[in-house]
Amino acid sequence: MQEKLAAARALHGAGRIEEALASYEALLAEHGGEAGLWNLRALAEHQLGRAGAARRSAERAIELDGTQPAFHLLAGHAATDEGDLAAAIGHYEAATGLKADWPAAWFALGTSRLEAGDAPAAVQALERAVEVDAGAARAWNALGLARLALEREAEAQEAFARALALEPGLAAAHLNLARLAEHQGRFDDALARLEDALRADPRLADALLLRAQILRRRRDPRAGGAHKVAVQALPTDARIRAAWADFLWEAGLVDESLREFARAEKLDPGSLRAALGARLVLPPVYRDVADLEAHRERFARGLDELAADPGRFAGLAGNAALVGASWTNFYLAYQGRNDRELQSRYGDFVCGVLRAGVPEFSAPRPAPRRKGRLRVGFLSNFFFNCTVGRYFASWITGLDRDRFETVVFYTNPWVADDTRAIAAAADRFHHVAGFAPLAIARRVAAEELDVLVFPELGMHAETFALAALRLAPVQVAGWGHPTTSGLATVDAWLSCGEMEPEGAEDAYRERLVRLPGIGTRYARPTTSSTKDRAALGLPAEGTLYLCPQSLFKIHPDNDELFARVLAGDPRGRLVFFGYRDGPVTQDFRRRLFAALERAGLDAQERTVFLGFLSHDDYLRANALCDVMLDTLHWSGGNTSLDAISAGLPVVTLPGGLMRGRQSAAMLRRAGLGELVARDPDDFVHLALRLGTDSRWRGEVREALQAGAAGLFDDDAPVAALARQLEALAGRPG
């Protein structure tokens, strides 16, 4: 046997692994009780990428002789490759128990614990690894990641620096210092560190991706080039392809995005992100209603294809499942249709993937057995000076602290005035920007909440994936993105009662809960800007009809109404905010201009597209315009409140869903129900009367200024919210 074994090991050492494996198997046929032979077989199988076979062989070796730490280490590696982290951790713990001074075993244990989301235990193992071998650069690097997961940022930075002192060319440590800098909002430092990482490893996928993502977040014109470099460097990397597809989609290049997602899916059929993108991407701007319907039908077919193969993504587990499921059907809501059926189908699909991949958060959570204040959590990526921050900050700052304990989870690195006010008002504020989704989920679950509130579901992909888990006994959504989530894990939908039509329940999978007023205590916006029209880029003369909605919110059905208004007022001009002169703006202008030209109008002369304005200047622009034309199917929310505060008359035609009825409810509450049109003809009539009758327009402005008091700084909605939260948690007051 010894001679044959030596020959087999010689083949193994020469890299002839298949031949070595065949020799080991022949030896085992005669000597099946030799633990060492089973371990050698496992090693060869592992090197050939046969994780399942390697694990079975290694575990057979352990059955025969459980005293060898190397057997446990190899079994742990094979279990890791199979995605069974619990088994891997068990084997690594056995290895360290048998050989307490083995740095490789402590390193493997620490990295597995970290991947499993147990950062405290990971830190313990990795600190032991560097204790027994202070020169282990990769262990120091992993220790930095574990400390970062515990928000011990200074210690994390120190560990990464130690790793680089030991191994200056360790690209992963440079990358992790870049991640830390990005996490802290030091984007220039992050980009510099990424250059160091790429000098060490020009094909480091995560560095290429992070560089492109940072540039994209900063709206840096180099972002497209960075994505192209990544694709050129790693053309067969599915993650790189999917990230490039995302970039193209955000830029409004929908056909190109769909092609890239399809390529990514072909490269990695198990990529959930690629599979979703290849089927569910929707355009920001449609060419016409027929184009909208065609994309809606394609979307529905895509849902059918996903549902037809539910086991396809069974290999996704833990954080990988959550990252893959970080998707939102954002543009679906702007089609102007009841999306309950489509959203529910998507919700069932994603919840199914996550039930299998993250089973710890699939079962109902029992209500905490404690007395005292109701513990309510709020989770969002938008707790800063934006629409969601302005709308929903009072849900946190206004709750009675004698009745409620508030816990906030904020996932965005950006900290603004609204963020600081929310943090100061909360009992606990968890700033979890940059944390892995699974780590965020565990942080939320650890708080043992009574109720978890998502102020918006549909604007941020990671938030939507987290909402598909069961993190609290009761989970509710606000209308930050006013369409049903379609998730069975969301129990209630908080809405504005006055904005909902009769039979509104049909549009929601969740239980509909109506709040009074505008559903929140909203501070009246003011501006210190005194600029004139010219200073803001507006025409000095003529009637200005403002449509302040983002261009992707403007349904093709609006185009004819705009044309009819301009045709009726030769001095009139339409004013839009085109956030960039890119494909989205170009596609919208092309569609709108065609409608205006069909009406015999000079589209270029009769439209104005403003660029970015500060909020002060934006409010001033509202005051300097003459009429706001609200949009069909998706009415103004924040934009209408800004207009009313500035005294700008708003003309609206309410739709059949809450998201098309917000302005109408606001105008009625302000005492200006006469500006709510009965039909398209009445909309055009009201807009033209306001635009051409300066006396009536002045009266309406005065009435708006007086009636605005009914909209702003109203405590009743938050008081009603408090009662509803208690009722939802089973604690009626």
| CB-neighbour burial class of residue 14 (10 A; exposed 0-12, middle 13-18, buried 19+) | exposed
CATH topology of domain 534-710: Rossmann fold (3.40.50)
* 191-217 tens-digit pLDDT: 999 999 999 999 999 999 999 988 988
> Which of 36-50, 349-363, 420-434, 499-513 has the least mean pLDDT?
36-50
The better pLDDT of the pair 533, 250 is held by 533
pLDDT at 13 over 90: no
Q: How large a percentage of the chain has pLDDT more than 90? A: 77
Helices 716-728 + 387-397 axis angle, to 10: 70
pLDDT at 353 over 70: yes
- Give the pLDDT band (50/70/90) at residue 385: confident
- Give the pLDDT band (50/70/90) at residue 733: low
pLDDT at 437: 92
Q: Which of 30-39, 67-76, 276-285 has the highest mean pLDDT?
A: 276-285
* 646-684 tens-digit pLDDT: 999 999 999 999 999 999 999 999 999 999 999 999 999
What single DSSP character describes residue 335?
A: G
Q: Domain extents for the chain? A: 274-360, 365-523+716-728, 534-710
pLDDT at 310: 80
- Give the pLDDT band (50/70/90) at residue 579: low
pLDDT at 348 over 70: yes
pLDDT at 206: 92
The 3-state secondary structure of 285-296, one letter per residue: CCCCHHHHHHHH
User: Residue 126 is which amino acid?
Assistant: L
* 365-523+716-728 against 534-710: fold identical: yes
pLDDT at 487: 98
Write down how long the chain is: 733
pLDDT at 716: 94
How distant is the alpha carbon of residue 202 from its chain centre? Answer: 29
Task: Answer for the pair 387, 462: CB distance below 8 angstroms, yes or no.
Answer: no
pLDDT at 574 over 80: yes
CATH architecture group of domain 365-523+716-728 = 3-Layer(aba) Sandwich (3.40)
Mean pLDDT computed over 310-330: 91
pLDDT at 1 over 80: no
| Dihedral pair phi/psi, residue 523, rounded to 5° | -70, 135
* 547-557 tens-digit pLDDT: 999 999 999 99
pLDDT at 163 over 90: yes
pLDDT at 580: 67
Query: What is the average pLDDT score of the chain?
Result: 93
pLDDT at 688 over 90: yes
The C-alpha R_g of the chain, in whole angstroms, comes to 30
Mean pLDDT computed over 703-726: 93
pLDDT at 439: 85
pLDDT at 530 over 90: yes
| CB-neighbour burial class of residue 681 (10 A; exposed 0-12, middle 13-18, buried 19+) | exposed
Distance CA 701, CA 479 (A): 29
pLDDT at 46 over 70: yes
Residues in contact with 417: Cβ distance below 8 Å, sequence separation at least 6, in sequence order: 385
Residues in contact with 69: Cβ distance below 8 Å, sequence separation at least 6, in sequence order: 94, 95, 96, 98, 99, 102, 105
Distance CA 633, CA 641 (A): 18
pLDDT at 287 over 70: yes
* 100-147 tens-digit pLDDT: 999 999 999 999 998 887 889 999 999 999 999 999 999 999 999 999
pLDDT at 539 over 80: yes
pLDDT at 247: 92
pLDDT at 296: 98
